[in-house]
């Protein structure tokens, strides 16, 4: 009787594929952590840019106030010249427009005879003769945004680093657990196939012989190694494993594996004893 040989894939193929997938997940997690850190750095840079923008606005407002104060100083140096109407109008507009909240008392004490501001119904000759700049309106000052303090920044960085360390620890634990479970599964599957091969070979041998022969002695009971001996399981799976099933040829000879040869040697030694 001729049977078709069934050759299974290499033992380490499934393990290698699993390891490659786990390595890919680890790389993806690492890149994800770096992406989160880059986003955090971008948020910090955005907050710093907003703070710089607020500072620039305050600088512009201070420059505008300094310009008004310079014009006010010029008017104060000129004195209360009531004879020249143009100078009086210009200085009155400057004094009334430059920080009225701060200089109202000083302006009223220094210039008690200031004319009122020109009404819209004034004549065009007066408006043309008065060469004064437009009245500047005080712009409201905005309070700058609070800058990110040191403790918050350090806390966020520590949280990101803690997440990265936790991810690395969890990934390594999953890697070790997956490799262990895979090795144990392949070992049990190999033992199951070995037992099935022994039983089928016994059955075929009994059918082919015409005279009844005494059954061979049972193989010696193999001691199960504890699951903790990971090195022995790994060596048995990767170094002493051939997954090809036995196949009788035309002449009736059997193609055995290493484990079957070892079992046959032990059976011969027991028969000789």
Q: Give the DSSP letter string of 212-245.
A: --PPPPPPPPPPPPPTT-HHHHHHHHHTS---PP
Alpha-carbon span 85 to 123, nearest angstrom = 15
Task: Give the pLDDT mean for 174-199.
Answer: 78
Q: What pTM was estimated for this model as a whole? A: 0.34
At 176, the pLDDT band (50, 70, 90 cuts) reads confident
Give the model's pLDDT for residue 247: 44
Give the model's pLDDT for residue 2: 54
Side-chain half-sphere exposure of 116, counting CA atoms within 13 A: 4
Domain assignment present for residue 81? The answer is yes
Domain assignment present for residue 246? The answer is no
Spatial neighbors of 15 by CB under 8 A, at least 6 apart, are: 179, 182, 183, 186, 237
Side-chain half-sphere exposure of 76, counting CA atoms within 13 A: 14
Q: How many CB atoms lie within 10 A of CB 142?
A: 10
Domain assignment present for residue 55? The answer is yes
Do 93 and 135 contact (CB within 8 A), yes or no?
A: yes
**Cα–Cα separations (whole angstroms), residue 136 to 88, 95, 97, 187:** 17, 11, 6, 89
CA end-to-end span of the chain = 33
- Tell me which of 37 and 153 has the higher pLDDT: 37
Task: Give the pLDDT mean for 195-213.
Answer: 62
Range of the domain at 64: 13-111
Look at 25-34, 165-174, 201-210, 246-255 and tell me which has the smallest mean pLDDT: 246-255
Domain assignment present for residue 26? The answer is yes
Phi, psi of 234 (to 5 degrees): -65, -40
Domain assignment present for residue 123? The answer is no
What's CA 161's distance to the chain center, in Å? 10
- Tell me which of 76 and 253 has the higher pLDDT: 76
Give the model's pLDDT for residue 49: 96
Alpha-carbon span 257 to 245, nearest angstrom = 8
- Tell me which of 185 and 166 has the higher pLDDT: 185
Residue 188 tokens read as: 């049990």
**Cα–Cα separations (whole angstroms), residue 122 to 86, 90, 131, 230:** 15, 16, 14, 103
Domain assignment present for residue 80? The answer is yes
Q: Is the pLDDT of residue 28 over 70?
A: yes
Instruction: Report the domain count for the chain.
Output: 1
Look at 140-149, 159-168, 222-231 and tell me which has the smallest mean pLDDT: 140-149
**Cα–Cα separations (whole angstroms), residue 255 to 47, 151, 215, 258:** 75, 73, 21, 10
Give the model's pLDDT for residue 182: 81
Look at 9-13, 18-22, 119-123 and tell me which has the smallest mean pLDDT: 119-123
Domain assignment present for residue 240? The answer is no
Domain assignment present for residue 85? The answer is yes
């Amino acid at each position: 009787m001729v049977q078709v040989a069934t050759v299974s894939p290499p033992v380490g193929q499934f393990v290698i594929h699993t390891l490659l997938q786990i390595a890919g997940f680890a790389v993806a997690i690492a890149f994800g952590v770096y992406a989160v850190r880059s986003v955090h750095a971008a948020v910090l840079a955005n907050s710093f840019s907003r703070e710089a923008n607020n500072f620039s606005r305050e600088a512009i407002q201070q420059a505008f106030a300094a310009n008004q104060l310079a014009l006010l100083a010029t008017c104060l140096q000129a004195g209360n010249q009531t004879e020249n109407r143009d100078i009086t109008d210009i200085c009155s507009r400057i004094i009334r427009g430059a920080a009225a909240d701060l200089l109202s008392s000083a302006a009223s004490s220094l210039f008690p005879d200031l004319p009122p501001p020109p009404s819209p119904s004034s004549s065009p000759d007066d408006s043309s003769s008065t060469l004064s700049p437009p009245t500047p309106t005080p712009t409201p000052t905005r309070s700058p945004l609070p800058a990110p303090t040191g403790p918050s920044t350090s806390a966020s960085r520590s949280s990101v680093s803690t997440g990265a360390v936790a991810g690395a620890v969890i990934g390594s634990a999953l890697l070790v657990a997956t490799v262990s479970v895979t090795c144990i599964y392949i070992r049990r599957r190999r033992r199951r196939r070995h037992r099935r091969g022994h039983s089928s070979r016994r059955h075929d041998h009994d059918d082919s012989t015409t005279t009844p022969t005494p059954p061979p002695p049972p193989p010696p009971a193999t001691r199960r190694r504890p699951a903790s001996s990971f090195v022995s399981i790994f060596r048995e799976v990767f170094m002493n494993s051939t997954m090809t099933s036995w196949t009788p040829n035309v002449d009736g000879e059997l193609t055995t594996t290493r484990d079957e040869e070892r079992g046959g040697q032990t059976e011969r030694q027991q028969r000789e004893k």
